[in-house]
Amino acid sequence: MNNYPGIFAAPDCKKFAQKICQRLKAPLGKIKFELFSDGERWCKYEENIRGRHVFLISSSTNPLETWFDLWIMIDAARRASADEITAVVPYYRFSRQERKDESRVPITASMVADITEFLKADRILTMDLHADATQGSTLIPFDHLYGSDTLIKAAFKQEPTLAQKKSKITAIAGDPGALKFVRPIAERHDWNFAFVDKKRAGHEKLAKEEILPIFSDVPIKDSTCLILDDIASTFGSLEKVSYSLARAEAKKIFALVTHPVFAGPALDRLTASKIEKIWVGDTIPLSAEIISHPKIKVVSMAPIFAKAIKKIFLKESVTSLFPDKK
């Protein structure tokens, strides 16, 4: 039995995995991927993993590649007699499809969990699920990490406005669906809290500059607003929320997002928005255009994943990483 975990990464996730390995002072496992001319994918472990606990990391900008790379890694690991297999999915793709909200649609978040369980993974490790209920879609253990504290610490360190003790900080939920995500953070930090009422017309419909109603116990005027969300896809919602806060005369507008998908017109909308800075995680590979954007500050989530992997490997409590979580 090795005294360090076997950490292996899908092609798009190597940089993130290397950061984890650096924190753990463990080598990145050797695995070879090939893409055949007809589009088929193939992998092979280039070292012995018999009897080992392996952590397989997959997080891609392509949702299908994220899961298929993970699944063939799991299958190969099981056939190579790995003792335990932990599927590490920093951004749980399809997590927004966690319920049947209309007729004749799939529950894809549950489907990908079912397949992962069927392939005999022993555990799933992820961060900031869009819906906590996703954890109930499989019988295998589901360790759920939280990225908000890491983003908050970075934001307060890098932005003097937030660090000022007299700053009136109001945590903003961009829509009623984000209430469960944002309210506990506001309570934990003793911040004011507000949410914006938004009715989504269709899936990711293009945003227009419109003012949305804000529900808050305190005036938004002259406050420092911190919009928090788990996912930013096309940035339509965050753009609308920023316009609404600016119209309400917020003093400063910042944002924190764990998973910066930033698809389609997202970067143009961020540029046009009233958000001054946005801190984002690196749970998916980020393009040079995203990293170099003047409003974007990237914060690595690798350290917290490294801590969680170490605790799982040593069979310790992952919950202990979050003393405020019950």
Q: What is the pLDDT of residues 215-235, one digit of tens each?
A: 887 889 999 999 999 999 999
pLDDT > 70? residue 165: no
Considering the domain architecture, whether residues 138 and 232 belong to the same structural domain is answered as no
Tokens of 319: 């919950």
* Domain CATH for 182: 3.40.50.2020
Burial environment of residue 64 by CB neighbours within 10 A (0 to 12, 13 to 18, 19 or more): exposed
- Please give the Cα distance from 16 to 305 (Å, whole number): 10
- Please give the Cα distance from 31 to 37 (Å, whole number): 20
pLDDT > 80? residue 9: yes
- Please give the Cα distance from 151 to 255 (Å, whole number): 10
Decide if 326 is inside a domain. Answer: no
pTM: 0.91
Range of the domain at 29: 6-146+302-321
Amino acid in the structure at residue 175: D
- Please give the Cα distance from 255 to 226 (Å, whole number): 5
| φ and ψ at residue 229, rounded to 5 degrees | -155, 160
198 catalytic residue (yes or no)? yes
Catalytic choice (15, 100, 198, 199): 198
Question: In the chain, what is the straight-line distance between the N-terminal and C-terminal CA atoms, in Å?
Answer: 33
Q: How many domains does the chain have?
A: 2
Considering the domain architecture, whether residues 163 and 139 belong to the same structural domain is answered as no
Considering the domain architecture, whether residues 169 and 295 belong to the same structural domain is answered as yes
pLDDT > 90? residue 245: yes
Considering the domain architecture, whether residues 266 and 220 belong to the same structural domain is answered as yes
Decide if 256 is inside a domain. Answer: yes
pLDDT of residue 199: 59
Q: What is the pLDDT of residues 291-321, one digit of tens each?
A: 999 999 999 999 999 999 999 999 999 987 8
